[in-house]
């Protein structure tokens, strides 16, 4: 089945720890995105990548890092510098930017304990 | 500034009645507009998009949306609501400067039996 897979579904982190969220797609899409979703707010863009080995900061990149070593994979690291990391994180991909619809993973809910 | 507004946090509709979820936008140039739906603790699913052409766009699950250039609106509609339509609905518009999506805050749609 083609699709986009995020793991884990739930993640707990202690304060001061870095954690990495996985995102894999087998849709042969060039563009991939990470969003953060908080209650009552729309999606906020953290990072996006248009092509392998290239990525751009979104609106709320501080405290996050990404890599795009393979077309299929776009992992997100939430670092200890992110002061309020508890949120629902969504990964998405699209064939190209802007004019085509994005496909979303099922999300990872990160909680700081 | 480019933006999307969903003026209603929540819309309540009786099953079988028509529904409308409102969206207005502000963007430079021709708008690329999208509607997505999100069920609890899940990723977003694409419903429909307007790029060009007919102002009435038909999408998944019986939904449609009407593009109105003079009113800068892109309201989502369905002639007869189902209880299973209850979900969170997001409108988005493509940012003409960087081709990323600008998201509305979402509207919670509740369909009562």
Q: What is the pLDDT of residue B70?
A: 94
- Helix or strand or coil: residue B60? helix
Q: How many CB atoms lie within 10 A of CB A24?
A: 18
Q: For B24-38, write each residue's pLDDT tens digit.
A: 999 888 899 999 999
SS3 content of chain A, % helix, strand, coil (to 5): 0, 50, 50
At residue A97, the pLDDT reads 67
Residue in A with minimal Cα distance to B93: A98
Q: Which residue of B has its CA nearest to A6?
A: B43
Which residues have a Cβ under 8 Å from the Cβ of B90 and sit 6 or more positions away? A42, A43, B6, B35, B36, B37, B38, B44, B103, B104, B106, B107
Q: Rounded to whole angstroms, how far apart are CA atoms B43 and A42? A: 13
Please give the structure tokens belonging to residue A59: 């609106």
Yes or no: say if A105 and A90 are a contact pair by the CB < 8 Å rule: yes
- What would the pLDDT profile of A79-88 be if each residue is shown by its tens digit? 988 889 999 9
Quick one: pLDDT at residue A98? 60
Q: How far apart are CA A32 and CA B74, in angstroms?
A: 26
Put simply, the answer to whether B100 touches A107 (Cβ < 8 Å) is: no
How far apart, in whole angstroms, are the C-alpha atoms of residue A35 and residue B3?
A: 17
Per-residue pLDDT for A1 more than 80? no
Residue A8, φ and ψ in degrees, nearest 5? -75, 175
- Strand duo B101-103 + B87-94: pairing: antiparallel
Note whether A39 contacts B: Cβ–Cβ < 8 A.
no
Residue B95: the pLDDT is: 85
- Please give the DSSP secondary-structure letter assigned to residue B42: S
pLDDT tens track for B74-87: 999 999 999 999 99
Please tell me the predicted confidence (pLDDT) of residue B75. Answer: 98
Which residue in B6, B10, B12 sits closest to B93, CA to CA? B6
What confidence score (pLDDT) does residue A96 get?
76
Query: Min CA distance, A103 vs chain B (Å)?
Result: 7
Enumerate the residues of chain B whose CB falls inside 8 A of the CB of residue A88.
Answer: 41
Cβ distance A107 to B42 less than 8 Å, yes or no, reads yes
Segment A61-77, tens digit of pLDDT: 999 999 999 999 999 99
Q: Which of B32, B36, B44 has its CB closest to that of A99?
A: B32
The confidence band for B53, taking pLDDT boundaries of 50, 70 and 90, is: confident
Over 70: is that where the pLDDT of A92 sits?
yes
Residue B19 pLDDT greater than 80, yes or no: yes
Quote the pLDDT of residue A83. Answer: 87
The answer to whether the beta carbons of residues B37 and B19 sit under 8 Å apart is: no
By Cβ distance, the residue of B41, B49, B105 closest to A42 is: B105
Percent of chain B with pLDDT over 90: 80
Average model confidence (pLDDT) across chain A: 92
* Share of residues in chain A with pLDDT > 90 (%): 79
Alpha-carbon gap, residue A9 to B83, rounded angstroms: 27
Q: Cβ contacts (< 8 Å) between B105 and chain A: which residues?
A: 40-42
* pLDDT at residue A99 tops 70: no
> Which chain B residues are within 8 Å of A41, Cβ to Cβ?
105-106
A42 contacts B90? CB cut-off 8 A: yes
Chain A partners within 8 Å of B90 (Cβ): 42-43
**Residue A111 CB coordination number (10 Å):** 11
Which pLDDT band, with edges at 50, 70 and 90, does A2 fall under?
low
Alpha-carbon distance A23 to A21, whole Å? 7
Residue B41 pLDDT: 82
Provide the percentage of residues in chain A whose pLDDT is more than 70: 96
């Amino acid at each position: 089945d083609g699709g986009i897979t995020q793991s884990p579904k739930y993640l707990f982190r202690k304060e001061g720890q870095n954690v990495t969220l996985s995102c894999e797609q087998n849709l042969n899409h060039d563009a991939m995105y990470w969003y953060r979703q908080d209650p009552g707010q729309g999606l906020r863009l953290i990072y996006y990548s248009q092509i392998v080995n290239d990525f751009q900061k979104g609106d709320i990149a501080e405290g996050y890092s990404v890599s795009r070593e393979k077309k299929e994979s776009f992992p997100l690291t939430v670092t200890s510098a992110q002061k309020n990391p508890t949120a629902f994180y969504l990964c998405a991909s699209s064939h190209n930017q802007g004019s085509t619809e994005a496909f979303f993973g099922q999300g990872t809910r990160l909680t700081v304990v | 500034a480019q933006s999307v507004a969903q003026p209603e946090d929540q819309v309540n509709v009786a099953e079988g009645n028509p529904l409308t979820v409102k969206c207005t936008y502000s963007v430079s140039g021709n708008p690329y507009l999208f509607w997505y739906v999100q069920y609890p603790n899940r990723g977003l699913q694409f419903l429909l998009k307007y790029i060009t052409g007919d102002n009435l766009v038909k999408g998944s699950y019986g939904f449609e949306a009407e593009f109105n250039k003079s009113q800068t609106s892109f309201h989502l509609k369905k002639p007869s609501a189902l209880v299973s339509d209850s979900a969170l609905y997001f409108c988005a518009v493509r940012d003409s400067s960087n081709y990323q999506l600008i998201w509305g805050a979402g509207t919670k749609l509740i369909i009562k039996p």
